[in-house]
Amino acid sequence: MSILVFGKTGQVATELQRQAKVTALGREQADLTDPAACADAIMQSDASVVINAAAYTAVDKAEDYEATALMVNATAPAAMAAACAARGIPFIQISTDYVFGGSGDNARGPDAPTAPLNAYGRTKLAGEEAVRAAGGQYAILRTSWVFSAHGNNFVKTMLRLGAERDRLTIVADQIGGPTPAADIASACLTMAEAMQTDPQKSGTYHFAGSPDTNWADFAREIFGQSGLAPEVVDIPTSSFPTPATRPLNSRLDCSDLENTFGIMRPDWRTALRSVLNEIATA
């Protein structure tokens, strides 16, 4: 299996390079603001599967730069998916829980109605729709609350703030599943191999860490495992306004992924230990 990855320094792209022999294209090799160049990279490659692990992920900034986010998150994946369809190879697109509106208390399955609350979610949803419309073999993998030892993420932010402050106020009414980037990468590789032999596995899937939690309790676990001891004070989302509205309910029903590919939800608390160890020894 020859794998072409869009993205090189992001959390999932980094883990893909750790776990498999892949050709990873950074911005200098394939700029996602140039969709034609992305398509050409696929057409000129010997890849038997393509994974798009690159995206415009600056959620708040996307409110002011939605056109750029749309190019990166929708137009470029559309071109990639079309090139993969022309070559007859599988295309895997990583998406997000932010395509949902975030109401209610139940976990959403892949067929649940979408209703993004912000520009980032709108552009990622547009990317999903474009990938499906390309007519090739595809898998869209929606995930949430990604963390790892590299890149920018909640774990690294909490370690920094926890070392600087004695008291932190953290949102406690947003619920979701923190997801290790390493497990997302592993899931993508498992899906890629399976899709090469069974085109019927095309579709949209969910993947998130277990158990579901909120940001405040996620922070408490980070501090408990790292030995930091700031006081964590729960606050509602309304007390922490941001340019982009965040969904309150990011719970994802991941049963389709388990049933189709045998991929189970990872325990994020166990993965967190590994991530913290890696950060501490870096």
Six token digits for residue 218:
């996620």
The answer to whether 74 and 126 have CB atoms below 8 angstroms apart is yes
Q: Which of 178, 72, 82 is nearest to 120 (CA)?
A: 72
120 has catalytic annotation:
yes
| Bridge pairing between strands 213-214 and 49-52 | unpaired
* CA–CA separation, 46 and 140 (whole Å): 22
Contact by Cβ (8 Å): 51, 90: no
CB environment 245-260: b (16+ within 10 A), e (fewer): bbbbbbbbebebbeeb
User: Distance between CA 209 and CA 179 in Å, rounded?
Assistant: 4
Q: How many CB atoms lie within 10 A of CB 123?
A: 27
- List the structure tokens of 269: 């608390």
Which position among 98, 120, 138, 205 bears the catalytic label? 120
- The residues that bridge with 94 in the sheet, in sequence order, are 141
Catalytic residues, by residue number, are 120
